[in-house]
Amino acid sequence: MLRVKILGADGSYVTRDEIVSLYASDMDYVPYIRKASIDYDATVNLEVPEGPVMLHAKLRVPGYGYGMWIMSDNCGVGYGPNAEVDFIHDAAASRIHEVEVVLSTKEFDPSPKCLSMLRDAKTLLTLAEANPAKAPAYHMLALASGMWSGELAAVERARARIQKHGRRDDILFGAGGFHYPYDGAVGWRGRGIKAPEYKGLPSMKENFDAVFNYATLPFYLADLEPEYGKPDFSYLDRLQDEFEKSGITTKGHPLWWAHTAGMPAWTKDLKWEDGSIKREIDRTINRTVKRYKGRIHYYDAINENHDWCNSYNLTQEQQTMMTKYCCDAMHEADPDVHAVVNTCFMFGENAADGRTQWGPTWERNLVPYTAIEKLEELGTQYEAIGMQLYNPARDMLAIDKLYDRFKKFGRRIHMTELGVPSFEKEVRPNTTPGDIYCLQYMYYGLWHEMGWNERLQADWVEQFYTITYSHPEIEAITMWSMSDPGYVPASGLFTENFEPKESFFRLKELEKSWGFDFGRK
């Protein structure tokens, strides 16, 4: 039994929500389902395997962030099952170790701020040893300094890599293109959206064309074929035509999604045992990919198929085979098409909660990393791993390391869905319980400040794109919502009135600094 204390800066225990967020994972960040009891003194008794394990908790760290996931891995060694852990102290020490590993690569000259924050963190831990009464305050300050230093190191290294390697011609900058070209024509879900035009300013179509060379189209089966055998491709045909006129590459999303939001009523009676699931995968994917052969080269073959969206209550082996069926059907229809296996919750915190959107909970649920491992074991032909990162409540160094972990599979990576808020906004009425869990817990965290705003959103966009662009294995970066409301509320680059936010201009200038100017023909 691993015993963990999480003390605030004043020496008292942190809030209940922070304490119960604690979970253990293996050293690849794959969580174990949380099995914990809490003593009267708020010590967490966490049942873990032999180890080594890492620890994660969603905490307020004054001076750095609020509701952010903090990691402690005992300076890279991990913990055994009988360890006693002062979490904030160990998290600060682990962060210092992480930063020193980044600096040891000698890929860049760290800024004075990066180095001074690192020295602050080290000095504060030394002061804690000399002043036990003030140790909790020093530990928390050391953690905040270490978090800042790590983010600076990650971003500065990314900038150095970009400068060294120069412009990449293989990168796709994208967004959801469901209502393009914003001219009011009836499109997705029968909606015709016409963006207002402001005198002297570019149109919404021109704004899209100015920052993106890639667009995601909505191939949800619920909208495409609500009545069996009667698909309607008219709105997709029009979208594809418009993007081709603009010279913008497209991707279809998704060809299969075992979630009630994306599947028509006629799919609810499909079964694994009688082969009807495979039959309909083959039929629907084959006809769609053939229709756009030579025009659409990328598809999300399947969406979120790793124990999160398992409405058919399949075993993990069956889920993996279902993903393979989708990829096989794509390549049978078009051998040159690129299959993207789209995943969500990249750090798998939902698995620690034993939480799914639809389907059973296992002793150890599949997360993106383990789902891809299983897919590889089957010898599946697929070209890219899709990653969603909505307001991940993880710092930039954690995101940088996420990419490094997935290099193991030797595949291209597509950042398929992104978004962080520009201000606090409640979820929309009639939001499902699963989406409330996503939006109010999984996708909630205050990065650096006590409230999101347009400048902070732009800061996140700039740093995230910088780190992501610096990884050559990443082929596509897709901002999900061009305009509000967005899946994550207020996460668009434009307001609901289609007025540009600072994040739009920041992204445009960032791309120009790398040699891209899509708006110029």
DSSP 190: G
Residue 149 belongs to a domain: yes
Residues 175 and 100 reside in one and the same domain? no
CB 258 within 8 A of CB 305: yes
- Reduced to 3 states, what is the DSSP secondary structure of residue 57? strand
Residue that is last in its domain, among 137, 164, 191: 164
Q: What is the total residue count of the chain?
A: 521
Report phi then psi at 76, rounded to 5. 90, -10
Q: Which residues pair with 65 in a beta bridge?
A: 61, 447
Residues 70 and 149 reside in one and the same domain? yes
CATH number at residue 175: 3.20.20.80
Domain that includes residue 144, residue range = 2-164
Residue 412 belongs to a domain: yes
In angstroms, the CA 291 to CA 240 distance is 12
Residue whose pair of structure tokens reads 């604690």 in the numeric block: 22
- Reduced to 3 states, what is the DSSP secondary structure of residue 439? helix
Residue 519 belongs to a domain: no
pLDDT tens digit at each of 521 positions of the chain: 999 999 999 999 999 999 999 999 999 999 999 999 999 999 999 999 988 999 999 999 999 999 999 999 999 999 999 999 999 999 999 999 999 999 999 999 999 999 999 999 999 999 999 999 999 999 999 999 999 999 999 999 999 999 999 999 999 999 999 999 999 987 888 888 999 999 889 999 999 999 999 999 999 999 999 999 999 999 999 999 999 999 999 999 999 999 888 899 999 999 999 999 999 999 999 999 999 999 999 999 999 999 999 999 999 999 999 999 999 999 999 999 999 999 999 999 999 999 998 889 999 999 999 999 999 999 999 999 999 999 999 999 999 999 999 999 999 999 999 999 999 988 888 888 888 999 988 899 999 998 999 999 999 999 999 999 999 999 999 999 999 999 999 999 999 999 999 999 999 999 999 999 987 55
CB 223 within 8 A of CB 262: no
Residues 6 or more apart whose Cβ sits within 8 Å of residue 245: none
Residues 241 and 139 reside in one and the same domain? no
Residues 451 and 305 reside in one and the same domain? yes
Residue 520 belongs to a domain: no
Residue that is last in its domain, among 128, 146, 164: 164
Q: Largest alpha-carbon pair distance within the chain?
A: 75
Q: How many domains does the chain have?
A: 2
Residues 157 and 181 reside in one and the same domain? no
Q: At what angle do helices 135-165 and 112-130 cross, to 10 degrees?
A: 160
Residues 155 and 214 reside in one and the same domain? no
Two tokens, residue 245: 């006129």
Q: What single-letter amino acid sits at 144?
A: A
Residue 344 belongs to a domain: yes
Residues 238 and 340 reside in one and the same domain? yes
Residue 351 belongs to a domain: yes
Residues 12 and 141 reside in one and the same domain? yes
Residues 112 and 199 reside in one and the same domain? no
Residues 224 and 247 reside in one and the same domain? yes
Residues 28 and 77 reside in one and the same domain? yes
Residue 131 belongs to a domain: yes
Residues 180 and 221 reside in one and the same domain? yes
Residue that is last in its domain, among 132, 164, 196: 164
Residue 518 belongs to a domain: no
